[in-house]
Amino acid sequence: MWRRFFDTLLPDAENLLPAAVQQAAGARIQQYWIAHGWQLVLGEAILWAAAGAQGLEPTWGYGLLTGMVATMYALGCLQGRTTLWLHASVFLLLTHGMLVNSLGAVTALTFIVPYTIGGMLLSGRRRMVAQTACLIAFWGSLIYGVLPVLGQLRPPNYIVISYDILLAVFTFQFSRFLSQLAVEINSEYVTTEIRGQSQQFLARVSHELRTPLNSILGFAKLLNRPQGTLDERQQAYLHQIIDEGEHLNQLVSDLLDSARLATGKLVLQQDGCDVNALCTSIAEEQQPAVGMAVKLTAQCASNLPLIQADRVRLRQAVANLVANAVKYTERGEITIMTRRDGDFVEIAIRDTGVGIAEAQQALVFLPFVQLNQRQMGVGLGLDIALQLVRLHGGDILLTSQPRQGSTFTIRMPIQRIG
- Residues that bind another protein in the complex, under the rule CB under 8 A: 203, 206-207, 210-219, 221-222, 225, 245, 249, 253, 256, 260, 265
We find the least distance from the C-beta atom of residue 197 to another protein, in angstroms, to be: 16
Alpha-helical (H) ranges within 100-157 are 104-110, 112-121, 124-152
We find the least distance from the C-beta atom of residue 200 to another protein, in angstroms, to be: 11
We find the least distance from the C-beta atom of residue 258 to another protein, in angstroms, to be: 12
We find the least distance from the C-beta atom of residue 392 to another protein, in angstroms, to be: 19
Contacting residues for 318 by C-beta, under 8 A, at least 6 apart: 278, 279, 282, 336, 347, 349, 385, 410
Is 214 or 234 the residue whose CB approaches another protein more closely? 214
Decide: residue 192, CB within 10 A, 0-12 exposed, 13-18 middle, 19+ buried.
middle
Peptide bond into 11 cis (omega under 30): no
* 345 touches 307 (CB < 8 A): yes
Is 225 or 403 the residue whose CB approaches another protein more closely? 225
Quickly count: other Cβ atoms within 10 Å of residue 386's Cβ.
Answer: 24
Decide: residue 97, CB within 10 A, 0-12 exposed, 13-18 middle, 19+ buried.
buried
Is 176 or 207 the residue whose CB approaches another protein more closely? 207
Is 164 or 383 the residue whose CB approaches another protein more closely? 383
Is 36 or 260 the residue whose CB approaches another protein more closely? 260
We find the least distance from the C-beta atom of residue 69 to another protein, in angstroms, to be: 55
* 407 touches 324 (CB < 8 A): no
What is d(CA 352, CA 107) in angstroms, rounded to the nearest whole number?
75
We find the least distance from the C-beta atom of residue 43 to another protein, in angstroms, to be: 57
* 279 touches 336 (CB < 8 A): yes
Is 221 or 340 the residue whose CB approaches another protein more closely? 221
We find the least distance from the C-beta atom of residue 228 to another protein, in angstroms, to be: 10
Nearest to 10 by CA among 113, 104, 167, 115: 115
Is 44 or 257 the residue whose CB approaches another protein more closely? 257
* 396 touches 386 (CB < 8 A): yes
